[in-house]
Amino acid sequence: MTLQHIDIVFQLIAFLFAISVHESAHAWMANRRGDPTARMLGRISLNPIKHIDPVGTLLLPAVAMYFHAPVIGWAKPTPVDPRNFKNPVLDDILTSVVGPISNFVVAIGAVLALALVKLVSPLGQQIISQGFATDTDSFLLPLCLLMYELMVINVVLGVFNLIPVPPLDGSHVVRHLLPARALRIYDTVGMFGLFLLVFWGGGLLGRLISPAIGFFNYILLRI
């Protein structure tokens, strides 16, 4: 198995972990804000089987990895009953944004792990500085590659889900600012807009995601 094949496996592992963290964060926050629906369905879990959506979790990431594109996708939506919230607007926003925030927390953790490897291991520093092109049989190479994929995929999912297109998490902030008539239109065209964004908005997604990945790369290389 080549390093490229190993990287594909790592991307899949990182993606499944990222969506599990993301959906668990939604379920955890909803429970904290008064809605136990997701908790009662076992959605506060890092088990990816609890969160798999056939299209968003399996098909779309597989297509992205096949074409060497950024791995994006989604999990089975976390069920939330806003009638259980004491403050429906605030609680809905908090429940929504905690998902992307959890992805950025994982990305920061991955960067810190890579930084630690750089600081304590000359070989690790060489591997990271050379963009994982180092010819070595050391376990540090796949370890660093896995940590890097964790960083990249969590940044991608964090940024992607903050885009204010229904039903992505960012839309839960915008929708509370709209009057009722505009909100109905916003929700109606949402899935169509998401479809266009995923399949024909590659340039826009790249312009949104690349700076975020570049920022994390800059931090990693400067440490």
Q: Which residues of 204-214 are buried (b: 16+ CB within 10 A; e: fewer)?
A: ebeeebeebbe
**Alpha carbon separation from 69 to 10, 198, 217 (Å, rounded):** 15, 11, 18
Catalytic site residue 23? yes
Return the structure tokens found at 180. 């009722």
Catalytic residue among 11, 19, 20, 23: 23
**Alpha carbon separation from 119 to 81, 109, 135, 216 (Å, rounded):** 47, 15, 20, 17
Cβ(127)–Cβ(144) below 8 Å: yes
Cβ(165)–Cβ(201) below 8 Å: no
Which residues are known to be catalytic? 23
